[in-house]
């Protein structure tokens, strides 16, 4: 008799399991998924609150997932609550609801029907939530009542953090020169607790040109930093608005950082000074000008070239002199040759570039004295030599003459 009773009980349990497995899975019924964790399995849920149990209650919240994990003000996210039936018999909750709390509002209607959750099965409920203000942690309540049974009522934490990425200037000139490209480097940091995506910086405004026109950074993990360099050429006093676009989940955010640019003369640019001139007129009227060039500025001068200008005509062997790079407080010697008939002075044109390749040109005049208008090199300096040659010629001529007279 007892053996028969046990067989009937086992048959009833098997039938219950079959019915539970054959339930429809389409909407509006939540989907049943996998079996419950084994007894004693304390594996925490993927995200959100730990497994919620209550005495006498067979329903448990296995996990909660919010996408994106942290919402900013105005963001819309997706909250998924996964529930499991830990009992040995199926349950039929009447409805599933998520109640708004504080700054977080629920955008969806409650699940009007839920259907049956089989023993050991799971069911996921998805709600659309929207974050308002102020920042903080809200606890919308997930409710799953079961007629005649202990239902489920669990507060789900949702974090709202409106902190935007931080933008700062890593490098910028003290002043801008009209029409000259200067380098501006922005640093974009992510102080949020989660990663952001699609980060892009675009300079906006008028009166300037920028290269590149925008800088795409892409994903930026939490507490990470990226830089965005721009070459800006300013034509007039202007304020450049750097527009920062970033995504939190599928929520697009735009913030703007204004940077005023003032035109003026840089205090750090190269300052090339010519000195220690020596002018010598060589045969043929060619002047040889030697001197020193010193960089009295605070930044290096590149591609420094010195050439005679004005009405003078450059001449060989040094029609112009390439000094090359000149570091601050450094100097170099130079020499140039030119023709400058009947001129009291001659301009020397110094051309150079800064680190960004911007060309500069300056001019310095060198006086030519009256003495230098003559061929001093061939007449005055060599007079003793010519006299010596004449004397020797006379002496040798006399000795030769005498040797033939004897």
Partner 1 sequence: MNGSSGEPVSEARASFVDLVVNPRAFFEALDPKPVNLLFPGLIVLVTGVIGAVTAYQMSAVLMDAMALPGIEGLGGVVGAVGAIGALITTLLAWVIYTAVFFVVSMAFRGSGEFNRLLSYVGYGHVPQVIGGIVSTVLTWNFVSNLRIPTLTDPEAVQEWSATLTQDPTMQAATIISLLFMLWSANIWIFGVRQARNLSTRDAAITVLVPVLIYLLASVVPMLVT
Residues that bind partner 1 (CB under 8 A): 283, 288, 290, 316-318, 333, 335, 377-378, 381-382, 385-386, 388-389, 392-393, 396, 399-400, 402-403, 406
Report the distance separating Cα 154 and Cα 143, nearest Å: 6
Beta strands (DSSP E) in 205-339 are 208-211, 215-220, 225-234, 238-248, 251-261, 272-281, 286-295, 301-308, 313-314, 321-326, 331-339
**Taking the complex as a whole, how short is the minimal distance between the CB of residue 390 and partner 1, in angstroms?**
10
Report the distance separating Cα 136 and Cα 157, nearest Å: 10
For partner 1, give the closer residue by CB, 325 or 378: 378
**Taking the complex as a whole, how short is the minimal distance between the CB of residue 301 and partner 1, in angstroms?**
18
For partner 1, give the closer residue by CB, 152 or 289: 289
Report the distance separating Cα 244 and Cα 211, nearest Å: 16
For partner 1, give the closer residue by CB, 105 or 372: 372
DSSP lists the bridge partners of residue 275 as: 292
Closest C-alpha to 362, from 235, 265, 232: 265
**Taking the complex as a whole, how short is the minimal distance between the CB of residue 278 and partner 1, in angstroms?**
8
**Taking the complex as a whole, how short is the minimal distance between the CB of residue 316 and partner 1, in angstroms?**
8
**Taking the complex as a whole, how short is the minimal distance between the CB of residue 300 and partner 1, in angstroms?**
20
Report the distance separating Cα 122 and Cα 137, nearest Å: 27
For partner 1, give the closer residue by CB, 9 or 389: 389
For partner 1, give the closer residue by CB, 265 or 403: 403
CA distances from 272 to 260, 297, 307, 332 (A): 30, 7, 14, 11
For partner 1, give the closer residue by CB, 5 or 404: 404
Beta strands (DSSP E) in 205-250 are 208-211, 215-220, 225-234, 238-248
**Taking the complex as a whole, how short is the minimal distance between the CB of residue 309 and partner 1, in angstroms?**
21
């Amino acid at each position: 008799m007892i053996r028969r009773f046990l067989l009937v009980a086992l048959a009833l349990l098997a039938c219950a399991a079959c019915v539970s497995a054959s339930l429809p899975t389409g909407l509006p019924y939540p989907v049943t998924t996998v079996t419950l964790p084994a007894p004693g399995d304390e594996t925490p849920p993927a995200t959100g609150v730990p497994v919620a149990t209550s005495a006498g209650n067979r329903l448990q919240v296995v996990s909660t997932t919010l996408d994106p994990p942290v919402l900013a003000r105005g963001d819309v996210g997706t909250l998924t609550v996964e529930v499991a039936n830990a009992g040995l018999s199926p349950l039929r909750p009447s409805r599933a609801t998520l109640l708004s709390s504080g700054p977080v509002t629920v955008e969806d209607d409650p699940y009007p029907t839920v259907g049956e959750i089989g023993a050991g099965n799971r069911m996921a409920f998805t709600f659309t939530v929207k974050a308002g203000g102020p920042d903080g942690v809200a606890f919308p309540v997930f409710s799953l009542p079961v007629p005649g049974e202990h239902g489920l009522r669990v507060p789900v934490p949702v974090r709202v953090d409106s902190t935007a990425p931080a933008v700062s200037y890593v490098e910028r000139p003290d002043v801008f020169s009209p029409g000259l490209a200067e380098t501006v480097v922005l640093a974009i940091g992510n102080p949020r607790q989660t990663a952001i995506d699609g980060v892009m910086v675009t300079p906006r405004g008028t009166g300037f040109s920028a290269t590149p026109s925008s800088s795409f950074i892409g994903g930026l993990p939490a507490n990470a930093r990226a830089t965005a360099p721009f070459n800006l050429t300013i034509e007039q006093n202007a304020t450049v608005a750097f527009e920062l676009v970033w995504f939190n989940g599928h929520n697009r955010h735009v913030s703007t950082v204004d940077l005023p640019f003032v035109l003026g003369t840089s205090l750090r640019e190269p300052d090339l000074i010519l000195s220690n001139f020596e002018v010598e007129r060589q045969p043929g009227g060619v002047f040889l000008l030697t001197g020193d060039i010193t960089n009295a500025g605070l930044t290096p001068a590149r591609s420094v070239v010195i050439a005679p200008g004005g009405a003078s005509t450059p001449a060989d062997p040094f029609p112009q002199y390439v000094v090359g790079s000149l570091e601050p407080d450094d100097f170099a010697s130079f020499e140039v040759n030119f023709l400058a008939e009947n001129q009291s002075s001659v301009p020397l044109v110094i051309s150079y570039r800064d680190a960004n390749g911007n060309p500069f040109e300056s001019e310095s005049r060198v006086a030519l004295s009256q003495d230098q208008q003559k061929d001093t090199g061939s007449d005055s300096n060599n007079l003793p030599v010519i006299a010596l040659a004449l004397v020797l010629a006379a002496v040798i001529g006399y000795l030769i003459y005498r040797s033939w007279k004897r």
